[in-house]
Amino acid sequence: MKQSVGTVAATGKPLKGLDRPQGQNIRFSQTITLGCPKIASIARPGQFVMVNCGPDCTLPRPFSVHQVIDKERLVLYFAVLEDGKGTDWLSNRRKGDAVSLFGPLGNGFSVQPSSHNLLLVAGGIGVAPLHFLAEETLKNGHSVTMLYGTADETSYPEALPRLELVRATEDGSVGHHGMVTDLLPKLAGWGRPNIRLRAHADVSSDVPDAGATNQTGTGFSGNRHGLRSGSLLRLHHQNEARTEEGLSTRSGI
């Protein structure tokens, strides 16, 4: 773990928010790129950083590492919630501003060496940690399919070359009309017919303006487990024939 001061290199275009019947509404979501080689050079998919979000926030805020660029820069993808002091402060940073942070924290994802095909499932802002995982596993020669669900056609910031992206929208504007989990029965055995996949997002809302939350509620369960605020996506491959096959995560936070 490293304590560092990152420099804002770029900010992404704000994406459409979401009104939620339960919980805080999302004003918008966006990316921010920080020049921070001390942390970027050692970050692994599934890990996160703690960001000091200005003088009005006593506690730092957790954000999943969304992407690492050239081992020099970190990209965070986060939702700005109504009355969210920390995420509002971060969204107002501009190029050249300094941001204090420490990390990386958490054990991250682990991919079994025998795995060849990875099936990733995300809803809304829950895609934040999976972009980094998809990017790294594609570099290692894996085939990666991501099932991605949102409320409408609003998509996440950047697609990856060679990533098969399967969309689902609650309003039917893009891809499958319905929840992203509706797609699992057809694709859960992708690559090995005897693999069953169970996916869920555990969302802790102890800190109200968490950097990674389940934006759309697309079939995932939310539990306040107190490990960290934000989205901790756990993917479990259950292989009836070979239990060691597939992708697993260890939170360890």
Q: What is the pLDDT of residues 66-76, one digit of tens each?
A: 999 999 999 99
Nearest in space to 152 (alpha carbons), one of 125, 172, 176: 172
Enumerate the H helices of the chain as residue ranges: 37-40, 85-91, 128-139, 184-187
Confidence bin at 190 (pLDDT 50/70/90) = low
Quick one: pLDDT at residue 30? 92
Mean pLDDT, rounded, for 104-128: 90
Alpha-carbon 189 to chain mean position: 23
- Mean per-residue pLDDT, 170-195: 77
pLDDT of residue 50: 98
Confidence of residue 29 (pLDDT cuts 50, 70, 90): very high
Nearest alpha carbon to residue 237 among 197, 186, 199: 197
Nearest to 6 by CA among 43, 42, 32: 32
Lowest-confidence range among 16-25, 48-57, 142-151, 192-201?
A: 192-201
- Listed as own residue / partner, the contacts of 200-205 with beta carbons closer than 8 Å and 24 or more positions apart are 200/233, 200/234, 201/122, 201/123, 201/126, 201/231, 201/232, 201/233, 201/234, 202/227, 202/231, 202/232, 202/233, 202/234, 203/230, 203/231, 203/232, 204/228, 204/229, 204/230, 204/232, 205/23, 205/229
Residues 6+ apart with CB under 8 A from 188: 119, 195, 196, 197
pLDDT > 80? residue 155: no
Q: Residue 116: beta bridge partners?
A: none
Q: Which two tokens stand for residue 209?
A: 């303006």
Percentage of the chain surpassing pLDDT 70? Answer: 72
Higher pLDDT, 191 or 43: 43
H-run or E-run covering 44: none
Domain ranges of the chain: 2-105, 109-249
Q: What is the pLDDT of residue 226?
A: 25
Dist. CA 238–CA 161, nearest whole Å: 28
Confidence of residue 157 (pLDDT cuts 50, 70, 90): low
Q: Which residue has the higher pLDDT, 225 or 40?
A: 40
User: For the chain, where are the E strands, in sequence order?
Assistant: 2-11, 15-18, 26-35, 48-51, 61-69, 73-81, 98-105, 109-111, 117-123, 143-150, 164-169, 176-177, 195-204, 230-239, 247-249
Q: Mean pLDDT score of the chain, rounded to an integer?
A: 76
Tell me the mean pLDDT in the region 157-170.
82
pTM, entire model: 0.73
CATH 2.40.30.10 applies to domain 2-105:
yes
pLDDT score, position 56: 92
Could you give phi then psi for residue 111, rounded to 5 degrees? -115, 125
pLDDT of residue 115: 85
Q: Hey, what CATH topology would domain 109-249 get?
A: Rossmann fold (3.40.50)
DSSP string, 172-194: SSSSEES-GGGGHHHHTTTT-TT
Length of the chain: 253
